Structure formats: C-alpha cells, structure tokens
Amino acid sequence: MSDPTDTTPDTPPETPPDTTAEEPEPPRPLLSLRHGLPHVVQNESELREACAAVMGGSGPVAIDAERASGYRYSSRAYLVQVRREGAGTWLIDPIAFDSLDPLQTVLEDTEWILHAATQDLPCLAEIGLRPTRLFDTELAGRLLGYPRVGLATLVETVLGQRLAKEHSAVDWSTRPLPEPWLEYAALDVEPLVELREEQVAELEAAGKTEWAQQEFDFVRGFVPTARAEPWRRTSGMHKVRGRRGLAAVRGLWETRDEIAAQRDVTPGRILPDSAIVAAAHALPTDRTALLGTKGFHGRGAERYANRWVAALRSAVEMPESELPKRSPRTDGPPTPRAWAERDPVAARRLNLARPAMTKLAKDLDLPVENLLTPDHLRRTLWTPPATREPDELAEAVRQQLAGYGARPWQVDLAAPVLVSAIVSGDEVPEDEVPEVPEVPEDEATEESEDPTA
C-alpha cells in the first residue's frame, strides 16, 4: 500500500542544465596563400622563368592538376599547379603550350607529392609529365588508418587548418580563369609539402614506411584500363527489363558516347541517363514518339533525334542472337552471393577468410581493402592452387597474389590468412555450408577495383 503522507513526486525533477559543459571548439583557421596569388604561366618566357624557379628550389615538389570533369568528355588537364620550397607556387596553363618538356626535365629527379595520384597521373602523362618518384598523401592517410582521407579533412586533422573547397566542381576549361578559382587551385598545393612531412614521420612511427613506398611505386605506374561494356553502368539500368531493352540502352549509350567524344562534352549534358532508361522501356521508333518520351527535351534530344531513333530501331530489329546478355561478361569469379550454390567449398573459404582479414586489418589500423584488394582475395579463394602440401601451397598462394598485382607487403600479410582459409575450408563437412554475406551488385562491382587506383 502506498503511503498517503509521501509527497515525493512520481518522477524525479528535471536535472538543471550543465553550465560547466565545454564550449565547442572554434573553427580552425582558414589556410591562405603565403606569397599571394601567382599569375598564370601562358607563354614560353614565363615557362622558362617557372622552370628556373622550380630548379632553384629544394625538396619534393607538390603538384596538382585541374580537369573539367562534368563539363568535358576528355580528361585533359586545364591547369597545372606546382609548388616547391624556395620556388613558391606556379600556375601553368597547359593549353597554351605545344609541349611542357622543359618542366618535365626540371622535375625528372624530384619526388612528386600528389593527393589521390591516380586521378591526376593520366592527365599529367597526356601533357608529358611523369614522375620518377612519388608520395601520395591520400594513400598515406589510408595506410595510417585515417577514417577520412580527403585533402581538406587531412589538412584540418593533421595540420590544424581549414581548406576551402567551394570551387571544386567548376569548369576549368573556362578562359580566362577567374581569380577565386585560381586561388582555390593554388591552395590545393600550398599544404602538401608540410602534410607530407607529417605523414612521413607518422609512417615511420607506425612501421609502415616500406608499405607506403611499395604502394607509391605501384601507383606511379598506374594506367587506367577501359571498362568492359561501360554502357552497363548507365544509372537506373536495373529498371530495364528484357534483353531488347538492354540492347536499346547499349545503342543509345554508344551513340551518345560518339557524339560526346566528337564535341568534347560530358555525355550527360547531351542526354541524361534517365532518358536512355525511359526510351529503353518505351522503345519509340519515330521522332514524334521519341520527343514525347520522358527526358527527351532540350537541344541534345532534338538535335540528334534521328540518331536516337536509329539506335532504337536497331535494337527493336536486332536478331535474338545479337542481343546483349542479361549479366555482364567477366573473367573473374561470380558475385559472392552465388558462391554457396555454385561452389560450397569456395564459399566456406570466403566465409572463413573475410572475418580473418577484417580482424587483421583492424589490428594493423588500415582499411581492409588496402590490406588486399577484394578482387585479389576472391580470385585466390575461387580458384586456389591445387596442392595442399603446406610449403607448396603457401608459395603457390604467394605467387598467385603477386600475379594479380598484390604488393610484397600485402602478400606477406594476406597469404597466411588465405592459406588457412583454403585448408580449413576443405576440412569442413560438405553438408555444413556457411552463408556468405550478401553483397549488393553495385558494391560487388566497385570492390573489384584496386583502392589505390
């Protein structure tokens, strides 16, 4: 029975606000140019001046390039930024020159510092600039276990300064380039030398210097490879039903790609992916019906209407034998979700290896995809060496991983895990088939990429 004299409230009184709570940290200071905004190098005498300054500087050279992604079909560089201690920052317009050989000669024996090097190396190579030594600050951040490795985040985390990024998606093919854009571009190389110095010390302290050097050497030789059947990456294509619809997507995508390449305009500005998917559903075969299809409006749709119609008619009239397959062609293993049904033993190997690799990566404080490219892991476990003699199996797995492109440090760490999964997977009774965690189709496609690429 309750006490009628008890006046204690049913609920405790609200706790007064904590006035001792810490104030939020003030924002980090905004990074600024130490030597003001440099002018853009656009003629031979200015290029000679820039090369002389860079040659007279000391230490590694910070380099960046700006492309017109989202505006142009090509991936050419429209601005190159170079910074070196004692030389300052130089902004070079590569469009103004037939050759940048003088700059390559000056940079030949220096270490280049880039952030996310695989994004810029191809366009730099197009204008004759190729490093002989490299330090990638993004890749170093991954190896050091930083959860976010964008340049602005690393500059704030490591150097304690904010880096403005408001002009990251502008059209760098614009001429003349506005001063705010040029300041943004110059700031992209401003902190790289100092960031590299900090990361070098961290890598050394973590015992990862050799790992990083192997990764940088690998990235230095990076050459982008063309995707097989790139039209299958059309956004929203999973909504298309039937092989004839796929043929329509392929035909429209390839037609759009030809036009985009001819005009040097990004394909989406000519015709959006959503219009391609809508046409693959409706299959209009005359101009009027086409222009009434969702997404077919604007200059690109009407200007090239006859070519769109021709691509759609070709898909409609195409013999069954020429229609694209429902699934993309691949020379690798199937998606992980299919392993248990197609090869239960391989599924067991994968089910054993994945958590072991995740734990190892966590212990080493780096992303599991940097410990070993997921595609290399899957290929090794899907088609492992035939031998089970311990020494022979260990050596065969090492050779297999190296053949896929795994670096020596990755082979040293990952091979024992995979050998264990191969042996243990064989030993599990056939009726005990573990479930392999399902991986969405788009994720399975993406994780086949090398994270350094």
* DSSP string covering 214-249: HHHHHHHT----PPSSGGGG-TTGGG--SHHHHHHH
Backbone angles phi, psi at 171, to 5 degrees: -90, 100
Is the pLDDT at 164 greater than 90? The verdict is no
Pairwise CA distance, residues 25 & 21, whole Å: 12
| Residue at token pair 């961290």 | 202
Beta strands in 68-141 (DSSP E): 77-85, 88-92, 111-114, 133-136
Domain spans, the chain: 40-220, 230-322, 336-446
Of 348, 367, 347, 345, the closest CA to residue 357 belongs to 367
Confidence at residue 445, expressed as pLDDT on a 0 to 100 scale: 40
Instruction: Return mean pLDDT, the chain.
Output: 90
Enter the CATH code of domain 336-446. 1.10.150.80
Q: How many CB atoms lie within 10 A of CB 327?
A: 10
CA triple 90-117-84, angle to 5 deg: 30
Could you tell me which residues are beta bridge partners of residue 61? 84, 112
Is the pLDDT at 253 greater than 60? The verdict is yes
Is the pLDDT at 181 greater than 90? The verdict is yes
Is the pLDDT at 275 greater than 80? The verdict is yes
Q: Tens digits of per-residue pLDDT, 409-419? A: 999 999 999 99
Domains 40-220 and 230-322 share a fold: no
Confidence at residue 2, expressed as pLDDT on a 0 to 100 scale: 41
Confidence at residue 19, expressed as pLDDT on a 0 to 100 scale: 54
Amino acid at 414: A
Q: Are 185 and 79 contacting, i.e. CB atoms less than 8 angstroms apart?
A: yes
More confident residue, 439 or 199: 199
In the chain, what percentage of residues exceed pLDDT 90? 81
Backbone angles phi, psi at 92, to 5 degrees: -120, 130
Q: Are 383 and 333 contacting, i.e. CB atoms less than 8 angstroms apart?
A: yes
Confidence at residue 219, expressed as pLDDT on a 0 to 100 scale: 96
Is the pLDDT at 331 greater than 90? The verdict is no
Is the pLDDT at 224 greater than 60? The verdict is yes
Confidence at residue 15, expressed as pLDDT on a 0 to 100 scale: 54
The confidence band for 432, taking pLDDT boundaries of 50, 70 and 90, is low
- Give the range among 123-132, 250-259, 424-433, 442-451 with minimum mean pLDDT: 442-451
What's the CATH fold of domain 230-322?
A: DNA polymerase; domain 1 (1.10.150)
Q: Tens digits of per-residue pLDDT, 27-57? A: 889 999 998 999 999 999 999 999 999 999 9
In the chain, what percentage of residues exceed pLDDT 70? 89
Most confident among 4-8, 164-168, 434-438 (mean pLDDT):
164-168
The confidence band for 435, taking pLDDT boundaries of 50, 70 and 90, is low
Amino acid at 195: L
Q: Tens digits of per-residue pLDDT, 73-122? A: 999 999 999 999 999 999 999 999 999 999 999 999 999 999 999 999 99
Burial class (CB within 10 angstroms; exposed 0-12, middle 13-18, buried 19+) of 411? buried
What's the CATH fold of domain 40-220?
A: Nucleotidyltransferase; domain 5 (3.30.420)
Arithmetic mean of pLDDT, 263-289: 96
Per-residue tokens: 301: 């749709």
SS3 311: helix
The confidence band for 438, taking pLDDT boundaries of 50, 70 and 90, is low
Amino acid at 70: G
> What's the half-sphere exposure (Cβ side, CA atoms, 13 Å) at 354?
16
Confidence at residue 12, expressed as pLDDT on a 0 to 100 scale: 46
